[in-house]
Amino acid sequence: MRRPHPTLRLRLTLVYGALFLVAGLALLGVTYLLFNQQLSQSFESRFTTSDGIRKNVIFLKQDGVELVGPAAVKWMRQQEEGVREAAVTSLLTQGAIALTVVCGTAVGLGWVVAGRVLAPLHLVTETARRIAAAPMAERGLHERIALHGPPDEVKTLADTFDTMVERLDHSFDGQRRFVANASHELRTPLTLNRALVELAMHRRTASDDVKELGESLLQINTRHERLIAGLLLLARSEQEIADRSPVDLADVVTHVVAQTARDAEEAKVVVKEDAAPAPTVGDALLLERLVHNLVENGVRHNLDDGTGWVRVSSRTVPGGLVQVEVGNSGPSVPPYDVPLLFKPFHRHGAERVVTGMSAGLGLSIVRSVAVAHGGDVTARPREGGGLIVTATLPAARAT
């Protein structure tokens, strides 16, 4: 287990306190040396004249006894040594006490000052953490530090960070616009291709080989149309949802199950519905696409022996959340492969032929729609095979 490292604020405070303590000890030492030197000079001047001649005769009275000459000098020196020792002891003791009190005060002030100095860095850190914690990288790029203050090093760092995030935001916006515009422009030639192929297939002189080739080309064209439609929806779902309206996911589940009943019947998969009220707010079309992709994914990736099933449910959960959960039977999914299922153009298994119906965008669109509505999507392998995917969204607030 790694030991926690002290924070920068604590280290700065300790540095401030240590520097103040060293400076205080140096000041106390210099004061002691100057005081001792001055005291020695003052005492020595009592025994010499101004021209350096030693005084030999001193008259003093102690308890009625006169002290003359060397005896008086000896007694005076004893008294002076006592005064010197008491003065030095008092200086060092009281100086140490005063230094301790002032040093403690300096440490407290250093803690406050370090906190105020590092406050802009905390703002930078919190902004970077919010950007990193966004479910998708481009979701948090609208965040800005917008630090106000003098043009110092921290202000320069914050402004540089804002500039970098702004350029990244513009880059992601340009990428989304490019995908949307390119997908939109590609719709026209695909529509033209479909019309030409159908025209050639329905001619009276069309042979069986031409009709068979036309069917193959139409399947490829259909797959490309689904891919472009998915790209358009993905680009739309990654934008902020501005127009929100009340939506009950139970109604969406019922509608989607009815829509996909024919596909499920053709795939010999039984779809079970358990729609409990789950009110939320958002874009109804995008939420319908979310549920539709989950059900469609559950039907497509299922058992092909006629025993497959898909269970779709909606519910309200504690914490002001609603959920749509889709579980299905099917092949086993390794746990390490689950996160990859939400990546665009990733398909589980060997479904990579050009005539495959899947464009590899189903679950990535589901996640984008959920994130755009302030929610998220999780998945886990089901015991016995299959997958359980849960989309969690904020519940509608009661009015």
Contact 266, 376 (CB under 8 A): no
Spatial separation of the C-alpha atoms in residues 374 and 273, rounded to whole Å = 25
Residue 162, both tokens: 């804002």
Helix and strand tally (H, E) in the chain? 8, 9
Residue 104, both tokens: 């403690």
Residue 219, both tokens: 């399947």
Contacts by 45-53, CB closer than 8 A, 24 or more apart = 46/76, 46/80, 47/73, 47/76
Distances (CA, A) of 90 to 32, 39, 84, 141, 184: 11, 14, 10, 64, 90
Task: Read off the pTM.
Answer: 0.53
Mark out the alpha helices in 202-282 (DSSP H runs).
208-237, 249-259, 261-266
**pLDDT (0 to 100) of residue 48:** 56
Contact 138, 172 (CB under 8 A): yes
From its phi and psi, is residue 283 left (phi > 0), alpha (psi between -120 and 50) or beta? beta
Using a 10 angstrom Cβ sphere, with 0-12 exposed, 13-18 middle and 19 or more buried, the burial of residue 368 is buried
The candidate with the shortest Cα–Cα distance to 269, out of 320, 238, 311, is 311
Q: How many CB atoms lie within 10 A of CB 326?
A: 26
Residues near 381 by beta carbon (within 8 Å), at least 6 away in sequence = 332, 333, 334, 335, 338, 387, 388
Contact 224, 190 (CB under 8 A): yes
Q: What angle do CA 323, 324, 327 make, to 5 degrees?
A: 130
**pLDDT (0 to 100) of residue 351:** 46
pLDDT one digit per residue (tens) for the chain, 399 residues: 456 677 777 888 888 888 888 888 888 888 878 877 777 666 556 555 555 545 554 555 555 566 556 666 677 777 777 777 787 788 778 888 888 888 888 888 888 888 888 888 878 888 877 777 665 555 567 777 777 777 777 788 888 888 888 888 777 777 667 766 766 677 778 788 888 888 888 888 888 888 888 888 887 777 677 667 666 666 665 566 667 889 999 999 999 999 889 888 988 999 999 999 999 998 888 888 889 889 988 998 888 888 899 999 999 999 899 999 999 998 888 888 888 888 766 555 544 333 345 555 678 888 888 887 888 899 999 888 889 999 999 998 764
Residues near 238 by beta carbon (within 8 Å), at least 6 away in sequence = 136, 138, 176, 368, 372
**Polymer length in residues for the chain:** 399
Spatial separation of the C-alpha atoms in residues 248 and 296, rounded to whole Å = 20
Element (H, E) at 379: strand 376-381
From its phi and psi, is residue 385 left (phi > 0), alpha (psi between -120 and 50) or beta? left
Q: How many CB atoms lie within 10 A of CB 78?
A: 10
Distances (CA, A) of 282 to 247, 340, 342: 7, 27, 21
Question: How far is residue 27 CA from its own chain's centroid?
Answer: 48
Residue 101, both tokens: 């009190």
Contact 302, 267 (CB under 8 A): yes
